[in-house]
Structure 1
Amino acid sequence: MRFMIIVKATPESEAGKMPSEALLTAMGKYNEELVKAGVMVAGEGLHPSSKGARVRFSGASRTVVDGPFAETKELVAGFWLFECSSREEAIEWVRRCPNPMEGDSEIEIRQVFEAGDFGAEFTPELREQEDRLRATIAAQT
């Protein structure tokens, strides 16, 4: 099972405050543990929302809204993608994480949908297309 581990933004991360050397060192050690255990698939920090944009959809209409975005608790400052055998294993790995914001912070854990989760609507043709796209992505990296 794959899990998206979402590091929530704080006022400090939204202000562009960079992590300390001590935190970067602790995160590097944690990421090494994740990789050695075969858990970490990907992980990155994100620039503040002031450098981002949102695209709002309303039927066929698209509207672009530039950041920053007001509600800090709803923003994402970074992420990992974990491969774990269960939700409980993902939780245990996150509990071992250094505090990502050097103050109060929050990390959300969400399971990623797999092909089998979609049922009959995910037809053999759609599965074939998905497999082809994933193979293309893998070949590009």
Structure 2
Amino acid sequence: MRFMVMVKADKNSEAGVMPSEQLLAEMGKYNEELVKAGVLLAGEGLHPSSKGARVRFSGSKRMVIEGPFPETKDLVAGFWLLQVKSKEEAIEWVKRCPNPMPGESEIEIRQVFEAEDFGAEFTPELRKQEERLRAEIATKQ
């Protein structure tokens, strides 16, 4: 099972305040543990929403909304993608994470859909296309 683990933004991360050397070292150690355990697929910090954009869809229309975005609690400051056996295992890994923000912070854990989760709608043709795309991505990394 794959889980997306999202570090929620706060006013400091949205203001572009960079993590301290101590936090970077603690996160580096934590990431090493994830790698050694074979569960880390990806993980990165994100620039503040002031450097981002959203694309809003309404039927066939597209509207670009430039950041910053007002609701800090809805924003993501960083993420990990973990391959683990269960949600409980993902939770245990996240509980070992250093606090990513000064004071209070929150990390959200969400399971990633796998091909088999989509049922009959994910036809053999679509599965073949997905496998081809994943293989192509793997050759470019």
Contact 1:15/1:48 (<8 A) preserved: yes
Q: Does 1:37 align with 2:52?
A: no
**Whole-angstrom distance in 2 between the partners of 1:123 and 1:134:** 17
TM-score where L is the length of structure 1: 0.99
Deviations 1:56-102 (A, max 9, x none): 00000000000000000000000000000000000000000000112
Indicate the residue corresponding to 1:72 in structure 2.
72
Indicate the residue corresponding to 1:22 in structure 2.
22
**Whole-angstrom distance in 2 between the partners of 1:99 and 1:17:** 15
Contact 1:6/1:80 (<8 A) preserved: yes
**Whole-angstrom distance in 2 between the partners of 1:29 and 1:103:** 20
SS at match of 1:105: coil
- Return the offset for 1:104: 1.0
Indicate the residue corresponding to 1:92 in structure 2.
92
The percent identity for this pair of structures is 77
Residues 1-141 of structure 1 aligned to structure 2 (within 5 Å): 1-141=1-141
Whichever residue aligns with residue 7 of structure 2, its letter is V
Gaps in structure 1 of 5+ consecutive residues: none
**Whole-angstrom distance in 2 between the partners of 1:9 and 1:20:** 16
Whichever residue aligns with residue 27 of structure 1, its letter is M
Gaps in structure 2 of 5+ consecutive residues: none
**Whole-angstrom distance in 1 between the partners of 2:29 and 2:56:** 38
Whichever residue aligns with residue 67 of structure 2, its letter is G
Runs of 4+ with deviation above 6 angstroms: none
**Whole-angstrom distance in 2 between the partners of 1:139 and 1:34:** 24
Deviations 1:43-67 (A, max 9, x none): 0000000000000000000000000
TM-score where L is the length of structure 2: 0.99
**Whole-angstrom distance in 2 between the partners of 1:53 and 1:10:** 18
SS at match of 2:38: coil
